[in-house]
A and B are shown apart, each in its own frame.
Chain A
Amino acid sequence: MSETIKTDVLIIGAGPVGLFAVFELGLLDIKAHLVDILDKVGGQCAELYPEKPIYDIPGIPFITGHGLTDALMQQIKPFHPTFHLGEMVTTLEKIGEPLFRLRTDAGKTFEVKCVVIAAGGGSFQPKRPPIQGIEPYEEKSVFYAVRKMDAFRGKRLLIVGGGDSALDWTLNLQPIAKRLTLVHRRDEFRGAPDSVNKMRALVAAGGMDLKIGQVTALEGGDGKLTACSIKGSDGAASRIEVDAMLPFFGLTMKLGPVADWGLRMEDELIPADTAAFETNSPGLFAIGDINTYPGKLKLILSGFHEAALMAQKAHRYVYPEKKLVFQYTTSSTSLQKKLGVA
């Protein structure tokens, strides 16, 4: 589809630890690309607690998830990392000693000397509603994301949820749908007030339906949805005929494709050595919350330490003929030049 991207290191996961890995690698002249399934950097700091304070970053008594992400982005700016956001690495194969080929679900191919898995709790994926028998409809008539709006043209759509995703897609798809129904568990919406107003205006004008309640059952066959049962918050049951359902209940962390890469795993974690946080496959590293070793603590600060040691070992694979001389950023002119401060 597209040409192969060749670089030194691919970092899987752009959370705080993945971002700091760019810094440690950059000091050693190692170039990195990052892939993250979210459409933004910061990982859990951005998705789960952007506004919540973190109190245990050394030297920083108090910082929010958002603040830490911004600070890390500033810190790694001199190294010009390339981000591939909204993409998931689906396959990884070893093709050299070490050399890896990875593919993403967006059709990109990478060839890199080292891989750093900094995927935290795994990939953020949409929550699936616990409706009996939903699986056969998924990706056929139940969708957790809209890839091509045109696929919904002329269809009877049911959107479920009360946040911005549910409201945005309601407003975007309403003009092209045959009929659109929004179902939410309460008559209040946490989405942007402007979107809520627009949606309510459409309901008032008869352009769409709003139902307060929960979807309880699906009807159809061969992956083709024909109707949904809804239990109203007032207890009343109703049934509406639909061609597709789009539930938006936020994201949850799932390990994802990492489990299929032939790595030794322990309880959905990747065992790594504590000298370089390398896995059982040379050149393949695991840092941050996704790894495990005796005494492991799932702390951002531990991930930062792991990134530093990982970079030392990665240097041997990327520059096998160069001897690495350990230097401090406080005193080394060469490091300061890389940081753009000397």
Chain B
Amino acid sequence: MPKITYIEHDGTKHTVEGELGSTVMETALRNNVASIVAECGGSCTCATCLVHVDEKWFSVVGPPSAEEEEQLDAAFEVKPTSRLSCQIKVTEALDGLVVHTPAYQGR
């Protein structure tokens, strides 16, 4: 199964196994990555599961959809590599993925 590493703003690192077909948000919740809130449960409507995709990985993960880009307007400190983790599906190609989680998701 693909390994995903979450690096929290204070440097705490979680390297966990992601289930194919689930999302980077769901994988974070299952593994107690506290800085992912996911208030809406993965509906792309709350912008509280923001991650900054590691620069090296952004081209693999790809840019947000138009719908997701609109939701990013409700997030804070959005960077060019920011994504909502509920909109990133776990695939074999993401084995080794590194994402950085923000200190604050709006709540």
Contacts and interface: CB of A to CB of B under 8 A. Distances in A.
A162 B73 contact: yes
A161 interface: yes
B103 A130 contact: yes
A215 to B, nearest CB: 10
A69 to B, nearest CB: 15
- Most chain A beta-carbon neighbours within 10 Å: one of B47, B70, B78: B70
Contact of A48 (B43, B70, B77): B43
A252 B48 contact: yes
B71 to A, nearest CB: 9
Interface string A126-144: 0111100000000000000
A295 to B, nearest CB: 20
- Most chain B beta-carbon neighbours within 10 Å: one of A127, A186, A188: A127
Interface in B10-60: 39-40, 43, 45-48
Interface in A229-286: 249-250, 252-254
A250 B74 contact: yes
A101 interface: no
Contacts of B69: 186, 188
Nearest to B70: A190
B39 A130 contact: no
A189 to B, nearest CB: 8
B47 A121 contact: no
A254 B39 CA distance: 11
B39 A249 contact: no
B45 A52 contact: yes
B69 to A, nearest CB: 8
Contacts, number: 54
B66 to A, nearest CB: 9
A254 B104 contact: no
Given A185-B73, A190-B73, A49 B107 contact: no
B106 interface: yes
Contacts of A253: 39, 107
A129 B103 CA distance: 12
Interface string B67-104: 00110111111100000000000000000000000011
A231 to B, nearest CB: 10
Contacts of A250: 46-47, 74, 106
A252 B73 contact: no
Contacts of A186: 69, 73
Contact of B106 (A48, A52, A127, A188): A127
Contacts of B77: 130, 214
Given A130-B76, A186-B73, A250-B46, 12 more contacts: A48-B43, A129-B76, A161-B73, A184-B73, A185-B72, A190-B73, A249-B74, A249-B76, A249-B106, A250-B47, A252-B48, A252-B107
Interface of A: 44, 48-49, 52, 121, 127-130, 161-163, 184-186, 188, 190, 214, 249-250, 252-254
Interface of B: 39-40, 43, 45-48, 69-70, 72-78, 103-104, 106-107
21 contacts: A49-B40, A52-B43, A128-B106, A129-B76, A130-B76, A130-B77, A130-B103, A130-B104, A162-B73, A163-B73, A163-B74, A184-B73, A185-B72, A185-B73, A190-B70, A249-B73, A249-B75, A249-B76, A249-B106, A250-B47, A252-B48
Q: Which 10 A-B pairs have the closest CB atoms?
A: A250-B74, A127-B106, A252-B107, A190-B70, A48-B40, A130-B104, A49-B43, A162-B73, A52-B43, A48-B45
